[in-house]
Amino acid sequence: MSKLLNKKLSNKKILLGVTGGIAAYKAAEFCRLLIKQGADVRVVMTSAAKEFIQPLTFQALTGNRVYAELFDADAQNAMDHIELARWADLLVIAPATADILAKLADGYTDNLLLTISLATQSKIAVAPAMNQQMYQNQATQKNIQVLQQRGVKVWGPDVGDQACGETGPGRMLEAEHLLQHVEQIMQPGKLNGYKIMITAGPTREAIDPVRFISNRSSGKMGYAVAQAAINAGAEVTLVTGPVCLQSPQPVKLLTCQSADDMYQQVMSHIDGQDIFIGTAAVADYRILNIADEKIKKSADEMDLKLVRTQDILASVAALKDKPFCVGFAAETSELEQYARQKLHNKNLDIIAANRVDGSASGFEVDNNAISVFWEEGSKQLSLKSKNLIATELVDIITEQFISCRN
């Protein structure tokens, strides 16, 4: 009995949806790990999934029949989709192909798994798995954003070699990582009850009514951190510069344009925040005199006088009752030296630093690799999708934050 009680998923009802991708073989190991942790698992397969792995495999692992047909005359009242939808505490679709993501986003019900997904009131999570180009296609990214807005958890994908011979984002997370996500979602988040403010994206410093100075930040890292904090149970306020991203949900969203706008938004809402994470690429300088009208092209040269902007991160860290402060540093050289210098000069608790002199990570891409530093330690987070990096970073922040409070 004591061994059963120690299992993290004891008495949890997990419905595993398996779709038609080469990563279907990983679903069997994922299923095994769920059962090992005490979960009661039922498996629903699409017709395409059965081309990659046999239903008998999951039947042997779970000890339960495998569900596949929408119209099954042998099912009780031929209503498997309703019974399973009501039964599950959590529906995980792994692998989730591009096709299934598109149909989920559009509300299709042309197979049993999709029908259950529409009928259930339980939590839903998907583990994308597909060719890297398919994953990065705008249509797939839009479908993922739609699902996230509806509260569907998106776990992964990972970055690496693929069965097609290509390399990039699209690998389904390993079974161990998926299990960690399940354990996290089925238990109260470690940041439950805490408030976190996150800044994200670039700022725009106006030259005239038409032109501005900005930087290459897309906001993807900050938005990923916000979603990871939400997943950990935090109440998140996201202060964002101009980006082309769907906001994570649920979140309190505060929009701004310039560095001064962001400063005002942050300082007006910082009271009561437990953690502040400054991922935004805030301009260090602004135009001293902004022209009221569009500046016409005339002389061969034009001089712009710049003045320093207010340092948002340092201002928050200097507050009498400052929150736990996390900064970001984008560097092209001497990463640790500059990061630790910023950590001390700005009175931060943690700083996350990344190189931005390459094309594989940093600005305007979906992947990142960062080094995290605090007073008495550090940790390297290797190249992977920004969503995965964000989850790992929030875990580090949570551990250090709780340690400081104790």
- Among 42-51, 148-157, 316-325, the minimum mean pLDDT is found in 148-157
CA distance 154 to 386: 12
In angstroms, rounded to a whole number, what is the distance separating the alpha carbons of residues 372 and 380? Answer: 6
273-293: average pLDDT: 96
Q: What's the pLDDT band for 6 if we cut at 50, 70, 90? A: low
Using alpha carbons, select from 157, 94, 88 the residue that is nearest to residue 123: 88
pLDDT at 168: 76
Domains, the chain, with CATH or none: 11-185 (3.40.50.1950), 195-405 (3.40.50.10300)
Residues 138-178 have pLDDT tens digits of: 999 999 989 988 889 899 888 777 666 777 788 899 999 89
pLDDT value, residue 399 = 95
**Nearest Cα to Cα of residue 44 among 75, 22, 8, 10:** 75
Tokens of 202: 């670039």
Q: Which conformational region is residue 219 in: left (phi greater than 0), alpha (psi within -120 to 50 degrees), or beta?
A: left
How much is the pLDDT for 4?
43
For 200-228, what is the mean pLDDT?
Answer: 94
Query: Which carries the bigger pLDDT value, residue 31 or residue 11?
Result: 31
pLDDT score recorded for residue 78: 46
> The whole model's pTM is what?
0.63
Q: How far is CA 374 from CA 158, 232, 343, 357, in A?
A: 26, 21, 8, 23
Using pLDDT thresholds of 50, 70 and 90, give the confidence band for residue 199: very high
Q: Name the active-site residue from 164, 256, 325, 404.
A: 164
> Mean pLDDT score of the chain, rounded to an integer?
89
C-beta separation of 287 from 306 below 8 A:
yes
The question of whether 244 is a catalytic residue gets the answer no
> Which tokens go with 103?
């149909």
Query: Tokens standing for 126?
Result: 């998907």
